[in-house]
Amino acid sequence: MADTGDSDIGGTSPDDVQLRFREDEPVGHAAVTVDAFLDQSNANAVRVEPGDDARELIPHLQRIALVEVNFPAFGDGRGYSSARILREAGYAGELRAVGDVLVDQLAYMRRCGFDAFAPDAALDPNDVEAALARWPHVYQEAADARQPIWAERHA
């Protein structure tokens, strides 16, 4: 169990956020672990690790302003499911991918509902622009607003 009073644990600060696709004010304090969040009633920022069950947060989404999903290694794809599950449950706050977040995974993360990114290593802005403009269409329904190809075909 994490020490809930220690704001150094894990969380990123707004200064660490390189990309943000929303207009509201970022949460100014660090996120707590899922266990800590469930133990206390006043936190509004929580950090989801790959092994956490994002569905545990669903009863509390109204009071959450920031969910950080940690990618300790970019090849661990559990965070993509966590993000989509939260968006499917109606979560509308900031969904921030943190950790080993690389430019080549950015487009898929956007599709899964991430709208902020705090990568361990800063991304090249030109590469970011290219990555986000890469796909003219998408094949699946996901957590973003894009229409799947099948919807365009049968519009």
Q: Site residues (CB under 8 A) for another protein?
A: 50, 53, 74-78, 80-81, 84, 88, 102, 104-105, 107-109, 111-112, 124, 127, 130, 134-142, 148-150, 152-154
For 54, phi and psi rounded to 5 degrees? -60, -25
Beta bridge partners of 19: 117
Q: Three-state DSSP class for 109?
A: helix
Provide the 3-class DSSP secondary structure of residue 76.
coil
Shortest reach from residue 112's CB to another protein, in Å: 5
Please state, as a whole number, how many other Cβ atoms lie within 10 Å of the Cβ of residue 29: 13
Residue nearer to another protein on the CB measure, 24 or 124: 124
Shortest Cβ 82–another protein spacing (Å): 8
Ramachandran angles phi, psi of 74, nearest 5°: -65, -20
Smallest gap from Cβ 27 to another protein, in A, equals 25
Nearest residue (CB) to another protein, 37 versus 114: 114
